[in-house]
């Protein structure tokens, strides 16, 4: 792996209930954090995919990967390369098969996060090509646990900032081989597990602030979970 092709594989924009980021804001930030592109992974929504596709002609030097973070029965799953959102609140195993049947690749999102993580049993058994081992909103312990499972299973390791604000973007990212030139190349490298997650975990104080923000947003949604 080199550091020449860095893609943030976990980014939320205004189609997520807990983010107000526009795609324009995200793209403007990319050169400042050393990224060549990002995956749009809004919660249970592909509402931004048409706008994401339109960006490709305007910014041909960047790679924009369509995705979605789907809420499964056990926790959150990242689905890349799908044109519609997988049905939510179904078992992880069933959702992974749905993603594969629709031409995408599924990756477990922050599996050891107390809220929304699938947990060890699923992380050790799910039929996925990769696990998110560097999540910019996770504690270092949670990220290291994910890394340990991925290494034990010889799976690919991805990284993503889990950005909901501009300041989060690029905190964690995935390193791809320099040969990747298209979205299909990115998907193929994920499928083959030829990816490496890199980045910074979130410290205790920052996690407290994030928890407060998440709590306020949850209250604003009438305590409806994502």
- Secondary structure (3-state) at 76: strand
**Domain presence at residue 225:** no
List, for residues 166-204, the tens digit of each pLDDT value: 999 999 999 999 999 999 999 999 999 999 999 998 776
31: nearest Cα among 164, 124, 169 = 169
CA–CA separation, 62 and 38 (whole Å): 8
CA–CA separation, 106 and 128 (whole Å): 6
Identify the bridge partners of residue 39 per DSSP, sorted by sequence position: 65
**Domain presence at residue 69:** yes
Q: What is the pTM of this model?
A: 0.90
- For residue 39, give its domain range: 5-220
**Domain presence at residue 226:** no
- Secondary structure (3-state) at 50: helix
List, for residues 36-59, the tens digit of each pLDDT value: 999 999 999 999 999 999 999 999
Domain count, the chain: 1
**Domain presence at residue 93:** yes
């Amino acid at each position: 792996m080199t550091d020449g092709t860095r893609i943030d594989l976990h980014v939320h924009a205004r189609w997520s209930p807990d983010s107000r980021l526009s795609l324009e804001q995200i793209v403007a930030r990319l050169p400042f954090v050393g990224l060549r592109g990002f995956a749009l992974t809004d919660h249970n929504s592909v509402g931004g995919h048409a706008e994401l596709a339109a960006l490709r002609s305007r910014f041909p030097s960047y790679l924009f990967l369509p995705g979605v973070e789907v809420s499964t029965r056990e926790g959150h799953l990242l689905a890349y390369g799908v044109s519609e959102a997988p049905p939510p609140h179904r078992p992880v195993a069933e959702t992974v098969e749905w993603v594969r049947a629709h031409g995408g690749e599924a990756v477990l999102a922050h599996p050891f996060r107390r809220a929304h993580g699938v947990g060890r049993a699923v992380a050790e058994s799910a039929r996925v090509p990769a696990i998110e081992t560097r999540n910019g909103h996770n504690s270092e312990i949670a990220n290291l646990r994910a890394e340990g499972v991925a290494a034990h299973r010889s799976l690919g390791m991805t990284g993503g900032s889990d950005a909901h604000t501009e300041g989060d973007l690029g905190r964690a990212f995935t390193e791809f081989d320099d040969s990747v030139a298209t979205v299909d190349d990115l998907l193929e490298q994920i499928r083959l597990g030829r990816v490496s997650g890199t980045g910074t975990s979130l410290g205790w104080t920052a996690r407290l602030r994030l928890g407060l923000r998440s709590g306020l947003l949850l209250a604003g949604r009438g305590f409806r979970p994502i």
